Every structure is written in structure tokens, then in C-alpha cells.
Amino acid sequence: MNHSKVTLVGAGPGDPELLTLKALKAIQQATVLFVDDLVSADIVAFASSKARIVYVGKRGGCKSTPQAFIEKLMLMAAKEGETVVRLKGGDPFIFGRGGEEVEHLKAAGIQVEVINGITAGLAAVTSLGVPLTHRQHAHGVVFVTGHAKPGDTGTDWRALAATAHSARLTLVIYMGVSGAERIQDELLSGLPAATPVAVIQNASLPAQRHIRTTLGRLATDIHLSGLASPSVIVVGDVISGLAQAAEHPEARRTA
């Protein structure tokens, strides 16, 4: 019987205190870790001093380790009897290619366990003291990527804007900074220019920065602020709560 196994671990948005206990145990027990580019050094430091750390960075717009090569490395290590952890920023199943890796590993006869992590879109707005859903402002939330793979037409922003407006949804856009101008133009087909927006860079980390703006000024204010990847763009009326949070910071500290 094949006992080879790989554990996909969500490292969360970066703050090591946001790791789950299950994720921490898996990191500490691993003999080899394949680590994404956005995983903080403080989290990698939880690994055993005897563990082998393999950095397999994947970041939009930068030179990346090919996905097929990462999968091959994991497969080899698992078959060699290593305790393998694939350490991913955020959550493996939210824009982390976790689904692809599970399919590939299972097809090769490898057991796979997935340990969830806090996704950046949630951590980002929480750090600002506002929610993603609210009974008065947002009846749901959509996580969507602003980055399409080559040959893919990507997200239908016009259709999404119309749905978000009619259904009162918050939009959380990952990897959208480089395409902010196009995203803004197409969302304006169905959402008012005054729709509140927040852009949060390096969510949960000491270097976190954010801006509060409107959909009509999104691309302009991203450019003026100098915000870059990794950032999430949050669009919706829940962001109007940022003004109240700024006026009452004690509520944010005790929430």
C-alpha cells in the first residue's frame, strides 16, 4: 500500500499569529517544505532546523517556478518517503493552485491533505476594521482574480458589476493592481462611480499600506499612492465603514 503523502498548508496572509494550530504542527513536522514566494520568513522559521526548504516562488508579473516542475518535485519527495509540506500564502484553495496540485498528486497515487489558511482578502478588510458582509450593505461576497492566464479572456467584469449592483455584493479582487484601469472601466458599466473602494497592500504585515477611494478614481489613486503587488482591491458599500472606524479606533481594537 502506498503511504506517500503531501500536505498543502495555507500560511495565511503573512502574520505568523494568524496560522492555525494544525498548520503550525504540519510545518514543524515536515522534512521538506516547498515554499511560495509570498510566505513570510517568520512562518518559514517554524520549520525544523533539519528540514529542507525549497523556494518555488510564484508571483504575478515576475519570473516564476513552472507549475509542472513544482508538482514533479513534490511527487519525487513524497515517493522518497519525505514528510512533504507545500506551503502556500493565504489559502491553498483560493487562487493558490491547490486544486491543480491535488489532482496531479492524486492521479500519481499520492495521498493529499489540505489545511486551510486565512485568505488575504479577508485579512485585509479585517485589519481595517470593516467586514466583507453586512446586513445593511452587502448580502454576499465574491472572490475574483484580476489576472487571466494566457489565452483566457478572464473575468466578465461587466456582468459581474451588474450582478454585484443588483445583489448587493462585495467584490474582492486578487492580482488586480496591474489591470486596475481596465477593471475600473468595465465595472463602471454596472456600478456607480461613487462606489467605495479600498486597496490593501501586504495585508496583516508590518509593511501593510492601504488607500480608501472610489471606483471612479481607482486607477488614478493606485498610481498616486504607489501601491503595488501583492494587493487586494475591495469594492463595495462595506468600505464606507472605514470612515467610522477611523473616527472610533477603540472599537477596532476591542472587536
Q: How confident is the model over 16-47, as pLDDT tens digits?
A: 999 999 999 999 999 999 999 889 999 999 99
Residue 149 designated active-site? no
- What does the angle CA 192 – CA 194 – CA 200 come to, to the nearest 5 degrees? 110
Q: Could you tell me which of 235, 108, 109, 216 has the C-alpha nearest to residue 174?
A: 235
Residue 88 designated active-site? no
- Coil, strand, or helix at residue 242? helix
What is the side-by-side strand order in the sheet with 209-214? 140-145, 169-174, 231-235, 196-201, 209-214
Q: Tens digits of per-residue pLDDT, 78-95?
A: 999 999 999 999 999 999
**Poorest-pLDDT segment among 55-69, 123-137, 171-185:** 55-69
Q: Tens digits of per-residue pLDDT, 156-200?
A: 999 999 999 999 999 999 999 999 999 999 999 999 999 999 999
Q: Is the pLDDT of residue 66 over 90?
A: no
Q: Which three cell numbers stand for residue 107?
A: 492521479
- Coil, strand, or helix at residue 167? helix
Q: Tens digits of per-residue pLDDT, 212-237?
A: 999 999 999 999 999 999 999 999 99
φ and ψ at 131, to 5 degrees?
Answer: -95, 170
Q: Which three cell numbers stand for residue 34?
A: 516547498
Output the pLDDT for position 252.
38
> Active site residue: 58, 74, 88, 91, which one?
58
What is the value of pTM for the model shown? 0.89
Output the pLDDT for position 241.
79
Give Rg (Cα) of the chain: 19
> Active site residue: 15, 36, 74, 88, which one?
36
Residue 58 designated active-site? yes
> Active site residue: 15, 74, 91, 175, which one?
175
Q: Is the CB of residue 214 less than 8 Å from the CB of residue 176?
A: no
Q: Which three cell numbers stand for residue 108?
A: 500519481
Can you tell me the distance from the alpha carbon of 103 to that of 108, in angstroms, rounded to the nearest whole number? Answer: 9
As a whole number, the mean pLDDT across the chain is 91
